[in-house]
Amino acid sequence: MEGAQGVEVSWGENRGTDDADMPSSKDDKLAYRRLRLLGQGSFGKAFLARDLANNELCVMKQIRVEKMDAKARDTAVREAVALRRIRHPNVVRFRQVFVRSGWLCLVMDFADGGDLCAAVKERARSKVPFEESAVLECFGQVADAVNWVHSVKMVHRDIKSRNIFLCRTGRALLGDFGLVRLLESTCELAHTRVGTPYYLSPEIIRKQPYNYKTDIWSLGVLLYEMAALQRPFAGTLETLPRAILKGAYTPLGSQYSQGLHDLAAGMLQVSPEHRLDLAVALQSEVLSGPLERAREALGLEEPQLPEAPKAKRADRLRSEVRSGAKDMKSEFIGYNTMCRRADPILPAGVTPAEAIAALAAEAEAKAAAEIYADRVAAGETIGDGAPENWSIKPERDPDSGDDGMSSVSDDSWGSVVDSGAGVLAAINQR
């Protein structure tokens, strides 16, 4: 029950509820004390709360789900539970997900430094831009978190400065992951859009299919906002989409390096195909150094990318059969089967007759080469040639006593001798 100071207790306790048919997490017996309201919108409310199990501060977001149909409600809860699998030092950690009294409750870590949007506005009021090192160290952490999210086949879709939370230590956290996707199932959000689409990519504005590149566009808007203290594209709900589709913006100030300029420009390409690859950008000189400095200062270990799922037994067998057929140079796949390999048996444009002739010529040449090798090994001369490694260059016979070339033998054996059958007969008669 809500008290005079707006404080409620026992949220998450295993109390009686009308939502027994709704899925929830298995460990929903913990209790939280809601301290104060942080914000609210058409989707629900966000409270600063205290975990009564360990006395730590946390954030509890409550989303009204009672108006959802059963399928949408189940999908929303399952996706919320899936957020707990995300493990990255720069992603807000989800502690618990449960449903109580018609509300989907997401409990997550609390960042004591506020959000990036508030920090940017404060700098804009004082007209003191962030130092480039601070911009890149903060942005590098966020970009690394987004890259990890992409590695698990997820798209954030709601990257903006309000969803980047800061800790007083200097750590940056990517938050509200998947929240937009969850809220799109509600009747309220289906008819109401909160705010203006400053961070929406051109492909989403055009209602075209999108992929991970949409997050890279939003990162480009975020980087520009951190450096310029204002967003690259502005306007009303009617004019802003046209500005985004045009892709023209005021260049960043000269106080920033060309590397930062190029990084923002590479992400703010209207065509998704031309945008930077995030993994490559993180390895570039402009981001790798600042990110490494931030990790070292904060004591953060480099996150390990999730391991690729193990191949199924059927996939392994297919791979083994394919490799075996390749090793045996067989045109068939497997043993005792009529399934041919995908590769063509004959090259393009070659008829069966031509292929047979080529194979016969190859076999004949191979047989001739083997015969030649055998005769060479026996020390025979072959035609006008000579055994392997023997010289056929004319040389003078040193034993002939003739300094001229008349004693030169064409086969380098010395003086010319009669080696025919008549010589053998004469020798036998002696």
Q: For residue range 359-380, list pLDDT tens digits in order.
A: 778 777 777 777 777 776 766 6
Banded pLDDT at 198 (limits 50, 70, 90): very high
CATH number, domain of 209, equals: 1.10.510.10
347 assigned to some structural domain: no
Read off the pLDDT of each residue in 321-344 and give the average, rounded to a whole number: 56
Residue 53 has pLDDT above 80, yes or no: yes
Flag whether the pTM goes above 0.75: no
Q: Is residue 226 domain-shared with residue 134, that is, in the same domain?
A: yes
In the DSSP assignment, the letter for residue 103 is E
Q: Which domain holds residue 317?
A: 312-342
**pLDDT mean across residues, the chain:** 75
* Higher per-residue pLDDT: 308 or 293: 293
Q: Is residue 146 domain-shared with residue 70, that is, in the same domain?
A: no
Highest mean pLDDT among 81-90, 222-231, 412-421: 222-231
DSSP string, 167-210: -TTS-EEE--TTHHHHHTTSHHHHH---S--TT--HHHHTT---
Distances (CA, A) of 362 to 330, 359, 365, 367: 19, 5, 5, 9
387 assigned to some structural domain: yes
Residue 310 has pLDDT above 70, yes or no: no
194 assigned to some structural domain: yes
Q: What is the predicted pLDDT for the residue at 306?
A: 65
Number of domains observed in the structure of the chain: 4
3-class DSSP state for residue 285? helix
Read off the pLDDT of each residue in 272-277 and give the average, rounded to a whole number: 95
Q: Give the whole-number percent of the chain exceeding pLDDT 70.
A: 61
Residue 199 has pLDDT above 80, yes or no: yes
425 assigned to some structural domain: no
420 assigned to some structural domain: no
Q: Is residue 59 domain-shared with residue 16, that is, in the same domain?
A: yes
Q: What is the predicted pLDDT for the residue at 425?
A: 54
Read off the pLDDT of each residue in 214-240 and give the average, rounded to a whole number: 95
Residue 396 has pLDDT above 80, yes or no: no
Distances (CA, A) of 87 to 161, 300, 326: 21, 13, 41
Q: What is the predicted pLDDT for the residue at 398?
A: 57
Q: Is residue 134 domain-shared with residue 193, that is, in the same domain?
A: yes
Q: Is residue 146 domain-shared with residue 274, that is, in the same domain?
A: yes
Boundary of a domain, candidates 110, 132, 157: 110
Read off the pLDDT of each residue in 414-423 and give the average, rounded to a whole number: 46
Q: Is residue 143 domain-shared with residue 3, that is, in the same domain?
A: no
305 assigned to some structural domain: yes
CATH number, domain of 35, equals: 3.30.200.20
Q: What is the predicted pLDDT for the residue at 15?
A: 37
Banded pLDDT at 39 (limits 50, 70, 90): confident
Boundary of a domain, candidates 309, 334, 369: 309
Q: What is the predicted pLDDT for the residue at 293?
A: 95
Place of tokens 């008819």: 191
Going by C-alpha positions, the residue among 250, 246, 234, 230 that lies closest to residue 196 is: 234
Q: What is the predicted pLDDT for the residue at 197?
A: 87
Q: Is residue 254 domain-shared with residue 327, that is, in the same domain?
A: no
In the DSSP assignment, the letter for residue 163 is G
Q: What is the predicted pLDDT for the residue at 87?
A: 83
* Higher per-residue pLDDT: 267 or 211: 267
Please indicate whether residue 27 is annotated as part of the active site.
no
Residue 24 has pLDDT above 50, yes or no: no
Q: What is the predicted pLDDT for the residue at 224?
A: 98
Banded pLDDT at 395 (limits 50, 70, 90): low
Banded pLDDT at 175 (limits 50, 70, 90): confident
Q: What is the predicted pLDDT for the residue at 18?
A: 38
| Helix orientation angle between 213-228 and 258-267, rounded to the nearest 10 degrees | 140
419 assigned to some structural domain: no
Q: What is the predicted pLDDT for the residue at 188?
A: 36
Q: What is the predicted pLDDT for the residue at 132?
A: 96
* Higher per-residue pLDDT: 304 or 378: 304
Banded pLDDT at 71 (limits 50, 70, 90): confident
Q: What is the predicted pLDDT for the residue at 61?
A: 86
Q: Is residue 252 domain-shared with residue 392, that is, in the same domain?
A: no
End-to-end CA distance of the chain: 135
Between 110-114, 195-199, 230-234, 402-406, the lowest mean confidence (pLDDT) is in 402-406
* Higher per-residue pLDDT: 345 or 376: 376
3-class DSSP state for residue 425? helix
Q: Is residue 322 domain-shared with residue 287, that is, in the same domain?
A: no
Q: Is residue 140 domain-shared with residue 289, that is, in the same domain?
A: yes
Banded pLDDT at 196 (limits 50, 70, 90): low
Banded pLDDT at 301 (limits 50, 70, 90): confident
Place of tokens 């005792």: 336
Catalytic residue among 115, 144, 158, 176: 158
Q: For residue range 115-161, list pLDDT tens digits in order.
A: 999 999 999 999 999 999 999 999 999 999 999 989 888 888 889 99
Going by C-alpha positions, the residue among 276, 268, 271, 274 that lies closest to residue 250 is: 268
Q: What is the distance of C-alpha 55 from the center of its chain?
A: 39
Boundary of a domain, candidates 84, 110, 136: 110
Banded pLDDT at 332 (limits 50, 70, 90): low
Q: Is residue 67 domain-shared with residue 140, that is, in the same domain?
A: no
Q: Is residue 26 domain-shared with residue 73, that is, in the same domain?
A: yes
Q: What is the predicted pLDDT for the residue at 123?
A: 96
Between 171-175, 205-209, 343-347, the lowest mean confidence (pLDDT) is in 343-347
82 assigned to some structural domain: yes
3-class DSSP state for residue 124? helix
